[in-house]
Chains A and B, each alone.
Chain A
Amino acid sequence: MIPISYYLLLSAFLFACGVTGFLIKRNIITLFMSIELMLNGVNLSFIAFATRLQTLDGHIFVFFVMVVAAAEAAVGLAIIISVYRTRETLNVDRVNLLKL
């Protein structure tokens, strides 16, 4: 018997690590990996609650999250490649065209 809160704590920790990584990392690829980390944290919550509530819907959601993550990774990495081609850098602090 493991309390569900342990899983949730682990989930929250992973998510927090993802957020922190997103905030402190400068390499754009690492930022994407931080996002994956956050998604994994959320997935763990889904599975834990699915087990707790005795329903399989959580598993399905995790599956969809994975698909979306895969699509996002594909597009995101393509964007990274094209940004690198034009800006010659992977440092997000130098990609500051959002400011006019």
Chain B
Amino acid sequence: MTPLFQPWLIPILPLLGALINGLFGKRFSKAAVAVVALTATALSFVVACVQAAILLQSGHPALEQYYGTWIQAGDFSVNFGIYLDHLSMIMMLVVTGVGFLIHIYSVAYMEHEGGYYRFFSYLNFFMFFMLVLVLANNYLLMFVGWEGVGLASYLLIGFFFLKDSAANAGKKAFITNRVGDFGFLIALFLLIQHFGTLHYGALLVVRDSALLQMPVETSAGVLTAIGLLMLVGACGKSAQIPLYVWLPDAMEGPTPVSALIHAATMVTAGVYMVCRSNAIFSRAPIALLAVAIIGTLTSFFAATIGITQTDIKRVLAYSTVSQLGYMFMAAGVAAYSASVFHLMTHAFFKALLFLGAGSVIHGVGGEQDMRKMGGLRKYMPWTFWTMLIATLAIAGIPPFAGFFSKDEILWQAFSSPHGSKIFWAVGLVTAFMTSFYMFRLIFLTFTGEYRGAKPDAHGHDDHHGTPHESPWLMLAPLVLLGVLSVVGGWVGIGNRFEHFLDPVIQKVSVEQSAAQNGEAAATPVSEGEGTESKSTENLLMAISVLVALGGLGLAWFLYVKRPELPEQIAAGAGGLYRLVLNKYWIDELYAAVLIGPLIAFSRVVLWQTVDQKVVDGTVNEAAVAARDVSAVIRQQQSGLIRSYAGWVAAGAAAVVAYMVWMGTR
């Protein structure tokens, strides 16, 4: 192995940046803080590129490096180590690359906010944990990163902690994630119990690993349980039904945070985890089906909510949830590479959309309501064009990136042995809605007349009254991401991307078939070579493009041609519209069913009964009893010598009496 293979540098550099900024940043100038953070991230990206090149040059399916033992308990041990294969390589490049661009963007975006050094320290801190998550060589280290990004997410959502809503959103994200982490942790315990290791290599890759060799009769229950619990964890982190509620609220954080954490990287951790565990899921058909169903449902429902939202960031948030649902759907039909492919393209165009939205918000002075925007195209052309690219990409219109990945997912949903026509149909409807609400966003924001207030006081900039284009430091990442949103999908032409991930996924499938001797319970998965003919694939592709264009057209008709229609439709739909506008009252439902009783239970039973009466009562009663007894005993300390002597005499008399009694017995 070449001496240049030093993957530990990739996470360590952002950690250094976070430490420097976090410990000393308060005394630095803003420029110095930015330089430290950007240097750390940029170096990390460069090192990541070098490591990726080394991996591709080496020809090995995976490279691994150890840095010592972390936990040693009997036969069970956990190492610090980095596991670099094609999957973690893609994640690593996406995280460092998109992360770096967003860092650049933040330098300008956060210029007028307080806590500049804090922001960059957190951001680097997040990068560190995210890289630990993707580069870890075992599940436990992955869990460290998993929790770490949760913490960073909490800190960054609540970055404007003086705002109540931001602080609450941070708490909501953190607590909701706890539910998922609980499931993930149980899954890890099960893995330890049944296989005695958490190491990817020993668990998932080595040909004679206990997991891969497990006969299907016994593996089905265990692996299904593990898979379902992992799915719970993934649902928490990747905002899937029923744990998606935190992500829309997370938009309280600064926009670059939304772009980095809540669109491009952290929320895809669940997808990464499912793909990483593909050996487990492929052997647990029920768990796999659950993944697909949850993904499909999430993508559909989130898309319907997205249609009615008026806050530009919330539309994007629901869009993110929806697209994550796509990824889960792909993973759920065992099309892991399609899932990762969409993850990558989504990171590009969704980060771009968020950054563009941030640019818009920045340009109009902090306004987030789309109804008060409009006509921004002529004020901020760069933002408009880049966002248009991203919108075309997410809508799935060729030749933009989203088209390739989304089409791949739909095709796999249709053709995969684990797939179903239902998944495909729902996915198609979702694609239509995606296209619709994204173009609705574009039309509402950029076309027509500017509906916002004229010079107002609540903007965070004083020097503008009319919307204005953002500084170049913010536009450069937009342009770069725009380019990536166009070309990012081209790697998927001709199924090249699928085969790129073969070392991670395909091999396992082959082993699986070998191990199971053609058992029917879990049919070996071979991606790409679907049973349907090539012409069917082309037909489906055409349908999805048509659907995307249909969404575009409908949005154009409703918001450009006949702007008065949407309100009439909304009024006509009545209850249904209100149901969707209020996000199906899921938050209210959770509040009524889970949070309310929990708080009531905590208040009445835990606080007022257990804490106040039992715990406090015990302590107080003990003190009162001690005081009362002391009050009696205190009288004995009269200070009179004769009184003391009397007690001595009484004691002596008692001893004598006892001896006499014993002697005469």
Chains A and B come from one and the same complex: yes
Most buried by A among B642, B644, B646: B642
Q: Digit string of A13-25 for contact with B (CB within 8 Å is 1, else 0)? A: 0000001001100
* Bound Cα distance from A31 to B641, whole angstroms: 11
B649 at the interface (CB under 8 A from A): yes
* Bound Cα distance from A95 to B642, whole angstroms: 11
Whether A93 lies near B642 (C-beta < 8 A) is yes
Whether B637 lies near A99 (C-beta < 8 A) is yes
B664 at the interface (CB under 8 A from A): no
Residue from A92, A97, A99 within 8 A of B642 (CB atoms): A92
- Distance to closest chain A CB from B104 (angstroms): 74
For residue B649, which residues in chain A have a CB less than 8 angstroms away from its CB? 19, 22-23
For residue B641, which residues in chain A have a CB less than 8 angstroms away from its CB? 92, 95-96, 98
Query: Nearest residue in A to B634 (C-beta to C-beta)?
Result: A99
Whether A97 lies near B639 (C-beta < 8 A) is yes
For residue B645, which residues in chain A have a CB less than 8 angstroms away from its CB? 22-23
B640 at the interface (CB under 8 A from A): yes
**What does DSSP make chain B's interface, helix, strand, loop or mixed?**
helix
* Bound Cα distance from A2 to B193, whole angstroms: 89
Residue from A19, A22, A31, A96 within 8 A of B638 (CB atoms): A96
Q: Digit string of A60-72 for contact with B (CB within 8 Å is 1, else 0)? A: 0000000000000
Query: Nearest residue in A to B649 (C-beta to C-beta)?
Result: A19
Q: A22-B645, A23-B645, A23-B646 are in contact. Are A92 and B639 (CB under 8 A)?
A: no
* Bound Cα distance from A31 to B642, whole angstroms: 9
Whether A96 lies near B640 (C-beta < 8 A) is yes
- Distance to closest chain B CB from A44 (angstroms): 17
Residue from A22, A23, A26, A96 within 8 A of B639 (CB atoms): A96
Query: Nearest residue in B to A98 (C-beta to C-beta)?
Result: B639
Residue from B637, B640, B644, B646 within 8 A of A93 (CB atoms): B640
Interface contacts (Cβ under 8 Å), in number, total: 29
* Bound Cα distance from A97 to B644, whole angstroms: 13
- Distance to closest chain A CB from B409 (angstroms): 85
- Distance to closest chain B CB from A17 (angstroms): 13
For residue B642, which residues in chain A have a CB less than 8 angstroms away from its CB? 22-23, 26, 31, 92-93
* Bound Cα distance from A95 to B640, whole angstroms: 7
Whether B646 lies near A99 (C-beta < 8 A) is no
- Distance to closest chain B CB from A24 (angstroms): 8
For residue B637, which residues in chain A have a CB less than 8 angstroms away from its CB? 98-99
* Bound Cα distance from A98 to B646, whole angstroms: 15
Identify which of residues 31-68 in chain A touch chain B, using a CB-to-CB cut-off of 8 Å.
Answer: 31
- Distance to closest chain A CB from B510 (angstroms): 88
For residue B640, which residues in chain A have a CB less than 8 angstroms away from its CB? 92-93, 96, 98
* Bound Cα distance from A32 to B642, whole angstroms: 12
* Bound Cα distance from A48 to B195, whole angstroms: 87
* Bound Cα distance from A98 to B644, whole angstroms: 10
Q: Digit string of A64-100 for contact with B (CB within 8 Å is 1, else 0)? A: 0000000000000000000000000000110111110
Q: Digit string of B606-641 for contact with A (CB within 8 Å is 1, else 0)? A: 000000000000000000000000000000011111
Query: Nearest residue in B to A34 (C-beta to C-beta)?
Result: B645
For residue A93, which residues in chain B have a CB less than 8 angstroms away from its CB? 640, 642
For residue B644, which residues in chain A have a CB less than 8 angstroms away from its CB? 98
For residue A95, which residues in chain B have a CB less than 8 angstroms away from its CB? 641
* Bound Cα distance from A99 to B639, whole angstroms: 4
- Distance to closest chain A CB from B653 (angstroms): 9
* Bound Cα distance from A99 to B649, whole angstroms: 20
* Bound Cα distance from A85 to B15, whole angstroms: 79
* Bound Cα distance from A98 to B645, whole angstroms: 13
- Distance to closest chain B CB from A89 (angstroms): 13
- Distance to closest chain B CB from A12 (angstroms): 10
For residue A26, which residues in chain B have a CB less than 8 angstroms away from its CB? 642
For residue B639, which residues in chain A have a CB less than 8 angstroms away from its CB? 96-99
The 6 closest A-B pairs by CB, nearest first: A99-B639, A96-B639, A98-B639, A92-B641, A19-B649, A23-B646
A/B interface sample: 5 pairs, CB < 8 A: A22-B645, A22-B649, A26-B642, A93-B640, A96-B639
> A-contacting residues of B (Cβ < 8 Å)?
637-642, 644-646, 649
Given contacts A98-B644, A99-B637, 20 further A-B pairs with CB under 8 A are: A19-B649, A22-B642, A22-B645, A22-B649, A23-B642, A23-B645, A23-B646, A23-B649, A26-B642, A92-B640, A92-B641, A92-B642, A93-B640, A95-B641, A96-B638, A98-B637, A98-B639, A98-B640, A98-B641, A99-B639
